[in-house]
Amino acid sequence: MANHKSAIKRDRQSKVRRMRNRISKSKMKTAIRRIEEALVAGSEEQAQDALKIAVPIIQKTAGKGTVHQKTASRKISRLTKRVNRMLPIG
């Protein structure tokens, strides 16, 4: 346990940030899971809708620094590819 006043504050701040990051990451993972569930179910429309919802959530999570920007870009790219492959060409 921290003893100095500044260390106590630092501990308190880190707990708040950790919870904020967990909430943000959890929202992102849930959005990704919804896309994957739609892909498994074979529903093109649901997959597209889920992707439209998930992309801003993933970008916001990266913008807050919870995940790295390149990690977010990679996730968005791979999910978009998977949804597009599911759609009929033409």
- Percentage of the chain surpassing pLDDT 90? 89
The answer to whether the Cα torsion of 6, 7, 12, 14 is positive or negative is: positive
Residue 51's Cβ-side half-sphere holds a number of Cα atoms within 13 Å equal to: 20
**Cβ 29 vs Cβ 37: under 8 Å:** no
Give the angle subtended at the CA of 15 by the CAs of 7 and 1, to the nearest 5°.
Answer: 40
Neighbouring CB atoms inside 10 A of 26's CB total 11
Per-residue model confidence as pLDDT tens digits over 31-64 = 999 999 999 998 899 999 999 999 999 999 999 9
Count how many domains the chain has: 1
CATH number reported for the structural domain that contains residue 22 in this entry: 1.20.58.110
d(CA 30, CA 85): 22
pTM (2 decimals)? 0.86
Structural domain that includes position 72:
5-86
